Structure 1
Amino acid sequence: MSDSAHIARFRELLARLLGWTFADNDAPPLAGLLRDRAADHGMSVSAYLARLASRPWDAELSVLVERLSITETYFFRHGEQFTALREDALPERADARSSQRILRMLSVACSSGEEAYSLAISGRQVRSDPDWIIDVTGIDANPAVLRKAEAAWYSAWSLRETPDAVRRRWFRPDDSGFRVVDEIRRLVRFQRTNVAEPGDGVWNHGQYDVIFCRNLLMYLTPAVTSALVERMTNALAPGGYLFLGHTDSLGRDPAGLELRHTHKTFYYRRAGGPPPAQRISSPAAPGEPSSPAARVPGTPVPPPDENVYERSLDLLRQERFNAALELMAAPRTGPSRARDELLHGVLLAQSGRLDEAIELARRLSEENGLNADAHQLLGLCLEDGSAVAEAIGQYRLAAYLDPGFALPRMRLGQLARRQGDDRVAAGELERALELLAREDDDRITLFGGGFGRLALTVVCRSELDACGVRP
C-alpha cells in the first residue's frame, strides 16, 4: 500500500471511530502522526492500521485524540455571544424556570474548561440567589484537557478577555496564575464523551437551557454533524438556546430551531416555550413584498413586473448597466420586492455609483438580517471601497446564513490568500469549489463579477493551486 493510500485509510478510520474529518492539506501532519504511532507500537504502518480497524482500542484512541485535538481557548471567548447569553438567553430561561429555580447548560468540546466555567459564571451573574441551582456540564473526547479543566488553574493568558471585575470576583491568584473559586467549581462537572457516539446521560430530551458547541462542526463528518445537531436540538428544553461558533452554521431555518440575531451575533432558539422577548425579522417568501421601510432618498422604486426583472437581469449579463438601471427606474405598479432592490443595488455598484449601492445594501441588510444576498452585496461594495475588514465580516455573515452559498466562501478564500493565510484560504476555497457546481444561476449573474460558473471554477482552482492544495 502506498503512502497516500495509508493516509487515505487513516483518515477513513478517524472519520469512522471519532467522526472527525481532515482536509487534504492536513495530510503531512497526519502522515507524521501515523508513522510515530506505528513505531511506538513496534508495528508497520499497515499492521497498525489493521489493528486500529479490527477491534476496540480505547487507549490508542485516547492518544490520537490528544495528539489531534485543537485545544486553544480562553475565558469569555467571543464576548458578544456571552453578552447575548447574559442579557437575552439566560434571563428568558430563568423566567421559564422560575418554579424549578435551576439553569442547566452544556459545553460541547469544552477543551480545558474555560468555556464551561464562563457559562457557570454567567449563570451566577444572572441568578445570584443561592437557592438557584446553576448546573454546567463540559464534555470532550480528550482526557488530557479534561484533567486540566478539573484542576481549574489557568495562566493569565487564558484570562486575557476577562473583565477585571470578573477576574477579581471569580478567580484567585495562585502559583503565578489563577484558580477558579470553589463557588464556581462546584457548579461544573466534566465528562469524557465522543460526540460520534450517543453518549449515555448527556443527551436526555429537554435537559438543557443552553448549549454551547463552538467551532466543532467544521471538523466533523457530515453524518456525525447531522446526528450531533439533532441530539443537541432534542436535548434543549423548548425555548432553550444553542450557540455555535462563527465557522459553523445551520442556515436560516434548521429543523426545530429559530435563528436569532442580537448583540451583533447569531444564535439559535429551540421552537416552543414562552415567546422570546425579541425576534429578528423573517425573510420575505419568494414573490412576497418585503417589509415596508423608508427608501433611500433619490433612489428609484423598482417595479415588481416579472418581465422587467428578467429583462434587467439579462442586461446585467450583457454588462449594459445603465440600460438596466433605466428599465428598473420605470414607474412601478405595486410594492417592490427584496430581489428587485438587490438587483438595483448590484447595478448601482457595477455603474460606479458605490455610495448609493452601499446605502441601499445597508438598508436591505438592516431590514432583514437573514438576507444572505444583501450581506454579500454589502461585502462586495465595501471591498471595492477599501473597507476590507468590514467586507470580510459581511461575507462571513452571508456564508453563515446560507451554508450552500459558494460566492462568499470564494471571496473569503481569495482575501485570506492576499493576507498570507494560505491554510484558511485553502479551506474556504475548497468549500467554494464544492458548492460552485450547485450555485444558483441568478446568484452567479449578480455576484460573479461577469464570470460564469466555469470561469469561476477555473479561478477557484487556480487560487487553490497557489495555496499548494488540490481538491
Structure 2
Amino acid sequence: MIVDAEAGRFRELLGRWLGWTFSDRDAGQLGPLLVERSHVHRMSRGEYLNRLAARPWNSEMTELIEQLSITETYFFRHGEQFRALREEALPRRIIDRAGQRTLRMLSVACSSGEEAYSLAISAKESLPGPDWLVSVLGVDANPAVLGQATEGWYSAWSLRETPEAVKRRWFRSGERGFGVDEEIRRLVQFRQHNVAEPDATLWRPGQYDVIFCRNLLMYLVPTVAQELVERMTAALAPGGFLFLGHTDSLGADPDGLELRQTHEAFYYRRRVPSADPPPMAAAPRPAPRPAPPPQHPPPSSDAYQKAVTLLADERFTDALALLPDPRLPRERLLRGVLLAQAGRLDDAIDTARRLIDDDGLNPDAHQLLGLCLDAATAVGEALAQYRLAAYLDPDFALPRLRLGQLARRDGDARTAAGELERALALLPAEDDLRITLFGGGFGRIALTTLCRAELDACGVHR
C-alpha cells in the first residue's frame, strides 16, 4: 500500500527533475507507477525514491516521461490559431525577414510531430517565393513520440482537421497510413529536450519568428513555467509571435509581450523596442506635460449597490429600474448581466459588445458576452469569449469552469479536466462580485461542488 508520504515524495521528485506538477487526482496514477518502477529495479519503494533523489538517472527519467506524457494531438489542432498564423503572424514576419529570406519556428512539447509539420506546411504555403529558407524545430521530453515524429507516418484520425487540399498536396497514402511529403519533412527536425533544463543553443536570444507552446504551462511547477516563458520571450525575434494553448495564459500585459486577438484566437507578440531618441542637439527637448490628475475610484453608488443586492435576490426587473442610463463601466456591466438574466439577450449582447469596443482588455465584458452567446446557442463564439476572459485574467475562475463544462459535453474529457482543475484551484479566491454577476445564482460553495462533480465525471487521470 502506498502511503501519502511516499506518493508525495514521488510527486516532489518528478517536479524537481521534470518540472511537472501533479494534482491530488493524479495519486491514482502515481501510486501504481511507483510500485511498478521500484519492482522493475528490485528495490523497495524507499530505496527507489532515494535513488531517484540522489543524482540524475537519465534512463529512468526517460521511462517515467514515456509513461506520464500526454501525447494526443493532431494536425492543425485549434484551427483558429493556425488561421491567425497564416493570415497575421507569417505575413508580418515575412515582411520583417525580407532581407534574410529565412523563417525559423519552434514547437515546444511537439509530441508526435503533427504540430511541427503543421507549422512547416503553413510557412511553405505562405512564402512569397522559392528562395526562402524555412526551418522548424520540434522538441519534446518523450523519446518514443519523437521517434514517430521523425518517421512522419500518421493515421487518418491525426488528419481529421486537415483541409482536403492540404492533405492531397502534402501527404502520401500508404500501408502505414499517411506520410508527410519529403519536401516538408526536410524543413523539420526533432530533438529531445526537458523544459526544466536550460539549453543555451535552443534558447539563443532572438532566433525564432514563431513559437508554439500549447497546453504545457499548466502542467509545470510555477518556477519552471515562469522560466520557460522568460526563455521563449527572449528567444523570439522582436516582432515574433508566441502561441499558447487555451489552458495557458500570461494575462493581458506580460513582460516583453503584447496580447493580440484576431481570427477568434489570442496569442502574443514580442514587443519591438522603440527607436533610440535623437541626440538633444538635434532636436529641442519637448516641454514637459503637466502631471495627470490623481485617479480615484468612482464614488460608491447607492443605486449600484442596491441593484447588486436585487440581482442576488433574482429581482432583475427591479434592479434594471435602478440603472436606466448607466455611465460607469461597472454599472454598464451590471446592467448587461441584468438584461441577460431578464431574458433580453439581444440588448445584453449589445451592451457587452459596446463595453468591449471601449476596452477590449476587459475580461468581465468578454465573460458577459460569452454567457449571452452561450444562452443564444452560439457556442463556438461563446467559447472564444470565455477563452479571452481567462486569458486576460488568469485568476478568473468562472470562464475556466464553463470551458471545462463545454469541453466535457463535447467529449474532450482531458481538456475538460484541465480547465476544471484550474477552476477548482481558483474558486476559493474568486471575487465575490464576480460570483454574483456570473455565477448563475450559485454561491461559492455550490460552484465548487459543481466543479468537483464535473471533474469526477471526466474520469481522466493524467
Match of 1:300 in 2: none
Amino acid of the structure 1 residue aligned with 2:114: E
Match of 1:182 in 2: 182
Quote how far apart the aligned CAs of 1:55 are: 1.2
Amino acid of the structure 2 residue aligned with 1:321: F
1:75 match: secondary structure: coil
> What CA distance in whole angstroms lies between the structure 2 residues aligned with 1:163 and 1:426?
29
> What CA distance in whole angstroms lies between the structure 1 residues aligned with 2:328 and 2:96?
38
> What CA distance in whole angstroms lies between the structure 1 residues aligned with 2:439 and 2:173?
55
Quote how far apart the aligned CAs of 1:147 are: 1.7
1:322 to 304, 317, 322: 317
Match of 1:26 in 2: 26
* Equivalent residues of 2:218, 2:248 under 8 A apart: yes
Amino acid of the structure 2 residue aligned with 1:6: E
> What CA distance in whole angstroms lies between the structure 2 residues aligned with 1:167 and 1:351?
48
Q: Deviations for 1:187-240, whole angstroms, at most 9, x for unmatched residues?
A: 222121100111231111111110000111121111111111111011111110
Number of residue pairs the alignment of both structures matches = 442
> What CA distance in whole angstroms lies between the structure 2 residues aligned with 1:216 and 1:118?
18
Quote how far apart the aligned CAs of 1:248 are: 1.3
Match of 2:393 in 1: 402
Quote how far apart the aligned CAs of 1:341 are: 1.4
> What CA distance in whole angstroms lies between the structure 2 residues aligned with 1:427 and 1:73?
15
Q: Deviations for 1:322-357, whole angstroms, at most 9, x for unmatched residues?
A: 343222215x7xxx3432211111122333434422
Change over 3 Å in CA distance of 1:116–1:430 after alignment to 2:
closer
Amino acid of the structure 2 residue aligned with 1:51: R
Please say if 1:133 is aligned against 2:133.
Answer: yes
Amino acid of the structure 1 residue aligned with 2:102: I
Amino acid of the structure 1 residue aligned with 2:323: M
TM-score when normalising by structure 2:
0.85
> What CA distance in whole angstroms lies between the structure 2 residues aligned with 1:304 and 1:433?
33
Change over 3 Å in CA distance of 1:364–1:163 after alignment to 2:
same
1:112 match: secondary structure: coil
Please say if 1:349 is aligned against 2:340.
Answer: yes
Structure 2 counterparts to residues 141-290 of structure 1, below 5 A: 141-272=141-272
Task: Give the CA RMSD over aligned residues.
Answer: 3.2
> What CA distance in whole angstroms lies between the structure 2 residues aligned with 1:314 and 1:422?
37
Match of 2:364 in 1: 373
Please say if 1:53 is aligned against 2:53.
Answer: yes
* Equivalent residues of 1:304, 1:340 under 8 A apart: no
Q: Deviations for 1:279-306, whole angstroms, at most 9, x for unmatched residues?
A: xxxxxxx989xxxxxxxxxxxxxx9985
Match of 2:81 in 1: 81
* Equivalent residues of 2:233, 2:256 under 8 A apart: yes
> What CA distance in whole angstroms lies between the structure 2 residues aligned with 1:131 and 1:424?
40
The answer for unaligned runs of 5 or more in structure 1 is 276-285, 289-302
Structure 2 counterparts to residues 67-146 of structure 1, below 5 A: 67-127=67-127, 129-146=129-146
> What CA distance in whole angstroms lies between the structure 2 residues aligned with 1:210 and 1:165?
24
Quote how far apart the aligned CAs of 1:35 are: 1.5
2:366 match: secondary structure: helix
2:429 match: secondary structure: coil
Paired-residue identity, %: 66
Match of 1:278 in 2: none
Match of 1:294 in 2: none
> What CA distance in whole angstroms lies between the structure 2 residues aligned with 1:153 and 1:430?
34
> What CA distance in whole angstroms lies between the structure 2 residues aligned with 1:318 and 1:164?
53
* Equivalent residues of 1:239, 1:274 under 8 A apart: no
> What CA distance in whole angstroms lies between the structure 2 residues aligned with 1:416 and 1:4?
31
Please say if 1:432 is aligned against 2:423.
Answer: yes
* Equivalent residues of 1:172, 1:179 under 8 A apart: yes
1:328 match: secondary structure: coil
Quote how far apart the aligned CAs of 1:43 are: 1.4
Amino acid of the structure 2 residue aligned with 1:400: Y
Quote how far apart the aligned CAs of 1:148 are: 1.7
Change over 3 Å in CA distance of 1:322–1:172 after alignment to 2:
closer
2:172 match: secondary structure: strand
Worse-matched range after superposition: 359-368 or 241-250? 359-368
* Equivalent residues of 1:105, 1:208 under 8 A apart: yes
